[in-house]
Structure 1
């Protein structure tokens, strides 16, 4: 299967630069037997009592830093923390060509890091000179929200983004990109879902900046996903398995939640506790078993995220849904509108 098979024309003005206000006023395209135009706050009337929402509670850290190596200005975007060393991070650096192994980048008086590796894929490895708690404190003083590149190119990061680019579920710091389907939820919407009898369970997937990287190979089978750390607790596994046994629906909120559920599902279809990295790549040809419905935003052409929704709901159905969304003025990607997808039979 070719990357070009997942291309489609997307006018640049379809990409949202700011979120809907209030969050649950975003539009919602329901994709099932047909297409239905709704809004996110309609979810309590669409979902059923007993449905189990699986949400991602990761919290975005201010992962963009500006530093200096001597007189040279260096812009760094942290990608992910090393699993075995809390002071070590993979990162993108601009201009990366100015850096070599052993160089020290200073991000202010209180934070600096040494380049420990330069990778063929363009990333670098950094090791900070202070403890993990001090790193996080320094990031909150010196860093900024890592908005997607297609937003940063058109406008600066503002103070409003500190709240706008964080979901209502955010509680476990470690992501460098938001799990954007969760951005649509408000306290009022959650209260309405609770009154409806819709249940909720949480997982954690620390979303990496690799989610924005283009697919550079012609054959999608050759693409390798960036690894991201995830956790499924025993309580969430129990809630999932109980819902399955009672024939209640599983609703994955976001592609990140779905990827983690698929990573933690065993051969018998039982969800197991999970606490490690995953680099799962879901695309047509892969069977999705964990969720019945998927709430997600609209994704970019030729992206791994568009490939995932095609695997979930069917490629032709998603092509038709996206054509309708573009013609109807839906807003795309991180700050955009949402769709609720039914899993293909």
Structure 2
């Protein structure tokens, strides 16, 4: 009987070059999970290749291979594994690099708290299970569709028309900056620019926006909370931060609260912005076609008890006001 219980445990992996930390994590999790431990990234990769790991939690600062470098390879080998990085605010470049490589579901600040660690690992396991199940269901649907004479031809036409001209919304307090961005990228995308949060809400109420590219330095309003409000109301809209503010705490929040697609620091090469927009539009299309790829939305469905901060509530009211005004004008 005990053998069956062990086999049913979810596999999780902790990576840290300090044996005492690994021992503490093992003690914390061993009753509920099958815990794997590695003292370096190379050993961790061998485990990933041989065992279906649901959650990987890695320290950032390790000799031989840094944590974000390990998680980048984990993503390639086992894309469904939920990846988390233990880090401090001093690892600024690594944090922003991890955000932009899409390697991390959650940053965990050191020193970590046991209760939070238990919660976030449990959430990661549930996300893995749900994504895997949805993928299996999707594959079955595709197999069934192959047997039909005209499986989804009409649906394909609809998607091609809907996505022919995706809208990119630029939000920045500088009219000069947004004007330059529209001039540069307006020929490739349906580019729209606004210079305030309320104007952004009004624009998004008018039509679907595939990508929002926003500064986070608005003075009176927290930029991450603004984008989080947008994400909650429009989950298929992909967020890109383009700002002069290079800040570790903001970058960590942008992942943990927003699951931002990219954190770009000005000045940014124009070809990199263009490449980011193309990839962000692809991500938005993927969210529409396969909602389980929107991991943060799925996490909130699994664990909806997160309280909305007062500032987010105020922003939500401003967004609702923009929607109501548009509806009134249409009458």
Structures share a fold, TM > 0.5?
A: no
Q: TM-score range by the shorter chain?
A: under 0.3
Higher relative contact order (CA 8 A, sep 6+): 1
Higher helix share: 2
TM-score, normalised by the number of residues in structure 1: 0.24
Higher strand share: 1
Choose 1 or 2 for highest CA Rg.
2
